[in-house]
Amino acid sequence: MSNSPFQLLFLGEDRAWSKLFQALAPAPRGCIKTHRAQSLNELFLVLAGGHWHAVAIDAHAWNLQGLHYVERVRSEYPWLPILAIYPGAVNDLENKAINVGASHAIALESLDSDNLLSAILSTLADPHSGSHFRKDSNVPLSFNTADQTSSAATRTQAISHALNNLLCVITANADLLSEHVSGSSNGERSLTEIKKAAKSASDLMRQLK
């Protein structure tokens, strides 16, 4: 599997950042690189200065200013996966985040490494999931063949990264579970199935390269 980490950029308040940090804790060191931007301007500077696979934005941050940030990032980066993190207690915030350009929305209460990486993977696997444009956007809706080829290659590479990190999380948690199911036939059978699924996914990922 690739040793190159999946790179995730975050913008939001302390509560969401702390939850995101905890969610990524089970992943082996080096699988996922995260950086917290302190402002929208910093986020744009960091995005422009390097290759990031996805952005996570706290939609509820700063009295719902996070929703506006989702829209701003989408207008500048039409194909970038944007994950909106929101508190489930706030009515309709998920739909609002999607409507302004989020590729996927995850409730803060259910945020964990599996949900996070699955959301990234499903977003990257869907060629239409990132195609959000503002009504006043001047970004053309048609691309030449070279652009399409480049976009497909980039998407394949990003999918490979996301799948690699999902496998890292699965493997790490399988190792932890193995310490607690010794002597349990049902537990050992479940672990065997998890490892078989991980191997199948690993074989598939090699075909993407």
CA dihedral 15, 51, 95, 107 (to 10 degrees): -30
30-48 pLDDT, tens digit each: 577 889 999 999 999 999 8
110-123 pLDDT, tens digit each: 888 777 777 777 76
Q: How far apart are CA 130 and CA 41, in angstroms?
A: 22
| CATH number of the domain residue 62 falls in | 3.40.50.2300
Q: Report the predicted TM-score, pTM, of the whole model to 2 decimal places.
A: 0.63
Tally of domains within the chain: 1
> What residues make up the domain containing 64?
1-209
Q: Which of 48-52, 150-154, 172-176 has the highest mean pLDDT?
A: 48-52
